[in-house]
Amino acid sequence: MTRVSILDGNTFLVSDERGDIEPSFDFPTGLFSFDTRFVSTWILTLDGQRLHPLSIDDSLSYGTRFFLVPGEPTHYLDAKVSVLRSRSIGGSFGEELTVLNHAGQEQEFSLRLDIGADFADVFEIKHQRQKKGRTTPGTRTNELRLVYRRENLHRETVISTSAPGDIDEGGMTFRIRVGPHGEWTTRLQVTTIIYGARGEDIRTTLPLGGHRTAAAIHAEQNELIERAPKLGCDCQPLAGAYRRSLNDLAALRYESIALGVRLLAAGLPWFMTLFGRDSIFTSLQVLPFLPELVPPTILMLAGLQGSRLDDFRDEEPGKILHELRYGETAGFLEQPHSPYYGSADSTALFVILLDEYERWTGDTTLIRQLEHETRAALSWIDTYGDLLGTGYVWYMTRNPETGLQNQCWKDSWNSVSYADGRLPAFPRATCELQGYAYDAKLRGARLARTFWNDPAYADQLEREAAALKERFNRDFWIPEKEYYALALDPEGRHVDALSSNIGHLLWSGIVDESRAAAVARHLLGPRLFSGWGVRTLADDQGRYNPIGYHVGTVWPFDNSFIAWGLMRYGFREEAGRICDAMLSASRYFDGRLPEAFAGYERDLTDYPVQYPTACSPQAWSSGTPLLLLRVMLGLEPQGEHLIIDPALPEGMGRVEVLDIPGRWGRVDALGRSRSPHDGSRGH
């Protein structure tokens, strides 16, 4: 079924192609805000008949227009009446219903809107649970109020109509007369309320801007896009993907319930909240283009840094969070996301982001302000991160009921396996975690030396990094297979599957120079590279499945970091191939790269097959075209300057990015591919 979504930060609405919402317990359709479904039924009928769409205008992220007629599709042409449904979202949700009479005489209609709210938490949809609280409907003149209570938790959905209607507990009915060729309109307003201090909406007692209008969202998105560097290029898919990415990143910004700042939600519909890992990877991707999106994320992650040992939340002092949820299941401890810390990479990635942020922006204030949090993060790597005391970062949840088994980016239960498909015991030490730890130490050393006036600590971190690199190259390398093991099992043996994780090792710089070529060969070889990108798992491994979430699909974000890693080791041609493949794939998704697509061979399907339940837009997929641009143009800050060293894939033609912001002010980067087919080829 086609689904139509609109969003404003973490308030979003998913309906079918008629604009209707039917109660669903397997997919999050409905109106959601702060992890709660405020509308689960929203069905429009005209004289008892469902409507059918003639067309949908969904070009805006925060608004949709549906053109509907009653009856079956074959009767379209004769329609004596049509209905326009025009909706927008901006904190609250508004829908204008217009009935158009196409007949030459007056007609009577009964327009009915069935309305319901189940107040389900996103996790109750994922896991199908019954509500513990009670919903009570209340009717007033032109207003339906649905009230949900569980102990002190109190949420409301209030639906009002501008034109008078008959309000009952299950919806609204409008008995209307419309003159010849005339029209009738009502404006429905849906307000969501989360009660907090002093019986007010929690969002009004905290320093938040509150509800934004659609016009305000429009202005704000435009301003953000206006500030971003301008892209000029011959390659249409690149131009389309860049514009789409900026739009989606603007739409995914939401107001933190706790900070009064704009954070980036991770992905629609399942992940409309703050994730440590996702927000850090996205920040790294967008830094050259939209650096102002980054400090709020850094401040929030620092503010919520782990401070105690808590088994339920997998929390430890110094650890950066995995996931923060605001819903009922987090509040009543049915889920651990208040916040949950089950992530073994976000802590090192936090240090990496801080350093990268300063390199681009020169914002030393933030670096000095967060010295204590950064030190605590570095210290976590060698203390609680090193569960077994072997000099590596390991993970093992202490919350077997609701915690995550795999605490790396591939966090599904079967993502870490031996080549033959067996699953290793816990704790596990995946390879990319060691790469991030290595990079974090080197970057931490730079921060300590340059900003914290602590050269002794800097020296120590550099010594530790060098020792880690040596140890890692000894313990993770599989000589007969010529790649790094996906992980070590608790006995220190190789978990020997061939996976995309080895690409992240290049990004971290932990790979010995002498082994980089072998790693690059594997990444671009037929087992990992599908033609559309690098698969999460090689196609001859025991658990390979081209539509397995982390065991065979292609993830655009993963590929963008692999391309960055290849660039780091000088494999510009190989990096270019990945950029080219990703941009080619993006064309099939209207420029919007999804969370993941299937790992089928390119020759087999001719187009990338979307993963069935992929999130879209997804922040780190939206960030992907931006990082690919960085890689193709070879952008690297060095001191007060920006190095520009373009190496564009064949046929890309001209690429220019104007006004790249940073400590240098603003500079332009220009590149042109060296190929006889310049500009003549679409992708």
Partner 1 sequence: MGQATEQFFAALPRRAPAVLRGPTDGTLQIDLTTGNRTEHWYVELAPGSAQVSREQRPAEATFTVGADLFEELADGRESALAAVFRNEATLSGNVLLFLLFRRFFPDPPGTRDPREVAREVVREQAGRSE
What residue ranges bind partner 1 (CB under 8 A)?
150-154, 195-198, 202, 205-207, 258-260, 299, 303-304, 307-313, 316, 325-328, 330-333, 338-339, 368-373, 383-384, 386-389, 394, 396, 398, 425-427, 490-491
Shortest approach of partner 1 to residue 294 CB, angstroms?
A: 17
Shortest approach of partner 1 to residue 8 CB, angstroms?
A: 21
Per the structure block, which two tokens stand in for 187? 């404006």
- Kindly tell me which of 380 and 436 has the beta carbon lying closer to partner 1: 380
- Kindly tell me which of 385 and 661 has the beta carbon lying closer to partner 1: 385
Within a 10 A sphere around the Cβ of 470, how many other Cβ atoms?
A: 11
Instruction: Judge contact between 355 and 336, C-beta under 8 A.
Output: no
- Kindly tell me which of 161 and 343 has the beta carbon lying closer to partner 1: 343
- Kindly tell me which of 221 and 430 has the beta carbon lying closer to partner 1: 430
Of 559, 560, 622, which Cα lies nearest the Cα of 594? 622
Shortest approach of partner 1 to residue 38 CB, angstroms?
A: 16
Shortest approach of partner 1 to residue 338 CB, angstroms?
A: 4
Shortest approach of partner 1 to residue 166 CB, angstroms?
A: 34
- Kindly tell me which of 387 and 431 has the beta carbon lying closer to partner 1: 387
Please tell me the distance from the alpha carbon of residue 584 to that of residue 574, in angstroms, as a whole number: 15
> Hunting for tokens 């790469």 — which residue is that?
435
Per the structure block, which two tokens stand in for 669? 């980067």
Of 591, 486, 506, 537, which Cα lies nearest the Cα of 247? 591
- Kindly tell me which of 369 and 675 has the beta carbon lying closer to partner 1: 369
Shortest approach of partner 1 to residue 443 CB, angstroms?
A: 20
Please tell me the distance from the alpha carbon of residue 144 to that of residue 139, in angstroms, as a whole number: 5
- Kindly tell me which of 12 and 326 has the beta carbon lying closer to partner 1: 326
Please tell me the distance from the alpha carbon of residue 588 to that of residue 35, in angstroms, as a whole number: 30
- Kindly tell me which of 312 and 664 has the beta carbon lying closer to partner 1: 312
Per the structure block, which two tokens stand in for 273? 């909240």
Please tell me the distance from the alpha carbon of residue 103 to that of residue 180, in angstroms, as a whole number: 6
* Angle, helices 346-361/431-450, rounded to nearest 10 degrees: 40
From residue 265, alpha-carbon distances to 39, 420, 467, 650 in Å are 20, 37, 37, 35
Contacts of 144 (CB under 8 A, 6+ apart): 115, 137, 138, 158, 159, 160, 167, 168, 169, 171, 172
- Kindly tell me which of 67 and 332 has the beta carbon lying closer to partner 1: 332
Shortest approach of partner 1 to residue 212 CB, angstroms?
A: 20
Shortest approach of partner 1 to residue 468 CB, angstroms?
A: 18
Shortest approach of partner 1 to residue 213 CB, angstroms?
A: 25
Q: What are phi and psi of 183, to 5 degrees?
A: -145, 160
CA atoms in the 13 A half-sphere facing the CB of 89: 26
Please tell me the distance from the alpha carbon of residue 78 to that of residue 555, in angstroms, as a whole number: 47
